[in-house]
Structure 1
Amino acid sequence: MPTSGNLQHSINTRQLTMIGIGGVIGAGLFVGSGKAISAVGPGIVLVYLFTGLVIILVMRMLAELATASPETGSFSSYASRELGSWAGLSVGWVYAYHWCVTVAFEAIAGAAIANQLLPAVPTWLFSLIFMSALTGVNLAAVTSFARFEFWFAMIKVIAIVAFIGIGIAAVCGLFPHFHTPGTANLLGNGGLFPNGLAPLLVASLTVFFSYFGTELVTIAAGEATDPVQAVRASMRSIAGRILVFYVGSILVVVTLLPWNATQVTESPYAAVLDLLGVPGVQTIMNLIVLTAVLSCLNSGLYSSSRMLFALARRGEAPRLLGTTARSGVPVAGVLAASSAGFLAVVANYFLPTGAVFTFLLSSSGAIAVVVYLCICATQIVGRRTKTEAEIAELPVKMWGAPYLSYAVGVILLGIVCGMASTSDTRTPLALTLTVTGIAVGAGLIHQRRTTAVALVPAE
């Protein structure tokens, strides 16, 4: 039976830290990075490094907010407190919307990968199995979600570390049948930027969105046994993770393979392993990417359901979404998030052209920028309202505030301008801004009505 009780504080620090790590490593790293490498050349390593530094600063701002007041709604709750309920409602709803769409996409993507491993099973059945299984995991208990995500993340970490280790061994000449290229692929094949600086913008956008998911740890903090310590530990290690997992592995790829090799676009990591003669490369990479996809699906169901729960508890979503079962799980929120996924999977099955699904994906394509801008604005405003004594007591502080905070805001606005000026990203930006505009309008109406009710004198 649903109750109006609270969530359970059952996620330990080890699990929350690994959830944070899992949020960084997505399927886009294993597959999507190939197009960015082909467009930019070896200099893509610098793009990953610079973009990673921006994400580190955004997460530092979020860590300052989250450790001061750990809440399930994370940046949505903080925006509602610092900027007004209209901001919390709008960013919370677009974030939940993004993950509902992503859940459906990951179910379909995972089914396509699984079908390559077992062609006899149709993709629609795989997608149904994945959605049903992970919905069940999220309905059981928050500890079930945490355990699954812990092991999903562990597999991804082991895969990345193993890949970097193999790559370093190859660069050092430890593979007898492989001739080490040295710096030839980095500098001798057109230089770092063989196609000039023009492709940098589009590639930067691709890289930027591949980092989305790092904020999940602050949402899960609301159900952690020691949220302040867990968020602090996780956020402090984000810099190392980005440098090792993204920059390190991409550096291995562009060092061992020519940037313009055909195999790079298809699957850069598989191409490197195949070049080094690692047996069963395609099957190994399919299993790793499938793990990353299922991890994203699992996280998407969790984060969207918890965001809906937080919105409902603040009166910014239907009250039913703010109820929990005896296990502390917001059942209605999980079912709402999974229902969107099931509907999109069914729509994709009956509409082979994917017109509806393509529209949904495009309309949520730039929500990462919306969320990060909101985090930036919330941290800046939050700092202004605090005294020097209150700032001194913050468990985690943003570096160089407020100057670095403003600099990050300018960079994020520059990304929006870049998207508006690029044909490949102009439509997703317009659709995302339309969805965001609708959410902001709803938030302003809600805030006005709430204020009007509060001003009515009691009889």
Structure 2
Amino acid sequence: MPTTIPLGGNLKHSINTRQLTMIGIGGVIGAGLFVGSGKAIAAAGPGIILAYLLTGLVVILVMRMLAELSTTSPETGSFSSYASRELGPWAGLSVGWVYSYHWCVTVAFEAIAGGAIANQLCPALPTWAFALLFLSVLTGVNLAAVSSFARFEFWFALIKVTAIVVFIGIGVAAICGAFPDYTAPGTANLLGRGGLLPNGLAPLSAASLTVFFSYFGTELVTIAAGEAADPVHAVRASMRSVAGRILIFYVGSMLVVVTLLPWDSAEITESPYTAVLNQLGIPGARTIMNAIVLTAVLSCLNSGLYSASRMLFALAQRGEGPRPLGRVTRSGVPATGVLAAACAGFLAVAANYFLPTGAVFSFLLSSSGAVAVIVYLCICATYIASRRHRAAASAAPPVRMWGAAYLPHLILITLVGIVAGMAFGSDTRTPLALTAAVTTLAVAAGLLHQRHAAKAAAMIPAK
């Protein structure tokens, strides 16, 4: 039976509460908000606000469940460790490897995406060179110490938050008619071009699936909790503010966009934020937004290296992954895990230099595109099982799930409905099928591992 080292044994508790809270904020704001939201608006119309609001509510409740689990037992493996404990090693192994796979793919994609954006800002260097530079620097940051990752992520998140707050401030001023040389449109764009749902409910349902995945990353704060100086306080503070962040950053900024721009304008699909700034006559709008999106991409790359390496570390420590992934350097960094995650990016950079990468990237992204719903389903199932197991415990958890007797079950049913919606959507059917295939392989590996471990344990003579 594999030897299990105590989780977090040699990791350094170097992340302070302010940094962990900002990591949580950075996890919410991704490049998908700045760019990907345009297609959702074009499909659903102004009613996309409802999709962001209702989907955000589901994510808030899932994160509340995870916050209760995490503050009760802060661990680097987060939901994977809890699933292994509550549902069985097969569940923890499965969701841990699928999650790591997702972030390794993300590292590769974000490295190339960052290089492409930087090439637009500075055409003197090719995309692959920028990608190699970004990946090398951030790999070095993650190899140095966890405090280095936290500092970089803090500033990345601060830039993103500042950009969103400034954008919303400018937008509110324009809506109120206080922006110079601009006539406020009132409700003409919001209600006067076919209403909130100009194309009916069907496009809103399809757009909701896209919106759902844009929230993925909030769980990062519970993974980082294993290296926090005061994990219970930090996770509690960060998770309690998730609701406000979602309402302000996503719903607030989307409300500004659909109020100031016609939902069916050509510019909104490419980049709604750039389109708004252009509409208001902000000089250099495209360059400004490219720089902000580049920051979001680099933040995601940085988080991807961290998330994948810590999940691989936790898997190895539980005996559910190769032992070298569980080793740490003197500075408390699981260097093998960081390098394993970075390798995906370096392979992508090499492919970007030598070969056309469209088909490969398309497969990789599609095969990890529905991982969010797999993780959230696992969190719900783990929480429900955990609550049954802790029913006799007298101590109250530091963070409590609202409506714990019924809301987790309702959210679980909602997530199953989202999966069903993906199966019927033409754009989401392929990602669902490919992610299901990857997940099936992970579950099969988990079940085989659990059976092997049980047989090994049965062969050990009782003392």
| TM norm. shorter chain > 0.5 | yes
Q: 2:141 & 2:357 partners in 1: Cα distance?
A: 31
Q: 1:144 & 1:255 partners in 2: Cα distance?
A: 40
Residue aligning to 2:269: 265
Residue 200 of structure 1, CA deviation: 1.5
Q: 2:280 & 2:19 partners in 1: Cα distance?
A: 34
In the alignment, structure 2 segments of 5+ residues that lack a partner are none
How do 1:244-283 residues align onto structure 2 when only pairs under 5 Å count? 244-283=248-287
Q: Deviations over 1:95-149 (max 9, x none)?
A: 0000000001001111110000001100010010011000000000000000000
In the alignment, structure 1 segments of 5+ residues that lack a partner are none
Moved more, 396-405 or 73-82: 396-405
Is 1:32 aligned with 2:39?
A: no
Is 1:154 aligned with 2:155?
A: no
Q: 2:360 & 2:258 partners in 1: Cα distance?
A: 37
Moved more, 167-176 or 281-290: 167-176
Residue aligning to 1:309: 313
Residue aligning to 2:452: 449
Give the fraction of aligned pairs with identical amino acids, expressed as a percent.
Answer: 77
Is 1:177 aligned with 2:181?
A: yes
Q: 1:402 & 1:59 partners in 2: Cα distance?
A: 16
* Structure 1 runs (4+) greater than 2 angstroms displaced: 347-351, 387-390
Is 1:55 aligned with 2:59?
A: yes
How do 1:136-215 residues align onto structure 2 when only pairs under 5 Å count? 136-215=140-219
SS at match of 1:199: helix
Match of 2:411 among 384, 408, 411: 408
Residue 361 of structure 1, CA deviation: 0.8
Is 1:434 aligned with 2:441?
A: no
Task: Give the partner amino acid of 2:348.
Answer: A
Residue aligning to 1:288: 292
Asked whether the equivalents of residues 19 and 149 of structure 1 are also in contact (C-alpha less than 8 Å), the reply is yes
Q: Deviations over 1:54-80 (max 9, x none)?
A: 000000000010000000000000000
Asked whether the equivalents of residues 253 and 272 of structure 1 are also in contact (C-alpha less than 8 Å), the reply is yes
Residue aligning to 1:363: 367
Residue 388 of structure 1, CA deviation: 4.7
CA-based RMSD of the aligned residues comes to 1.2
Asked whether the equivalents of residues 61 and 379 of structure 1 are also in contact (C-alpha less than 8 Å), the reply is yes
Q: 1:54 & 1:226 partners in 2: Cα distance?
A: 27
Q: 1:348 & 1:420 partners in 2: Cα distance?
A: 32
Q: 2:267 & 2:361 partners in 1: Cα distance?
A: 28
Q: Deviations over 1:325-378 (max 9, x none)?
A: 000000101011101221123224333152222111110000000000000000
Q: 1:260 & 1:433 partners in 2: Cα distance?
A: 34
Residue aligning to 2:385: 381
Is 1:105 aligned with 2:143?
A: no
Is 1:15 aligned with 2:22?
A: no
Asked whether the equivalents of residues 43 and 207 of structure 2 are also in contact (C-alpha less than 8 Å), the reply is yes
Moved more, 226-235 or 418-427: 418-427
SS at match of 2:67: helix
Q: 1:275 & 1:13 partners in 2: Cα distance?
A: 39
Q: 2:425 & 2:357 partners in 1: Cα distance?
A: 25
Match of 1:394 among 371, 384, 397: 397
Residue aligning to 1:458: 461
TM-score (norm 1): 0.98
Q: Deviations over 1:390-435 (max 9, x none)?
A: 4x51111111012100110011000100011111111110000000
Residue aligning to 2:94: 90
Task: Give the partner amino acid of 2:444.
Answer: G
Q: 2:295 & 2:235 partners in 1: Cα distance?
A: 24
Q: 1:307 & 1:188 partners in 2: Cα distance?
A: 49
Task: Give the partner amino acid of 2:141.
Answer: V
Task: Give the partner amino acid of 2:234.
Answer: A
TM-score (norm 2): 0.97
Residue aligning to 1:351: 355
Asked whether the equivalents of residues 142 and 148 of structure 2 are also in contact (C-alpha less than 8 Å), the reply is yes
SS at match of 1:43: helix
* Residue correspondences, number: 456
SS at match of 2:201: coil
Residue 446 of structure 1, CA deviation: 0.3
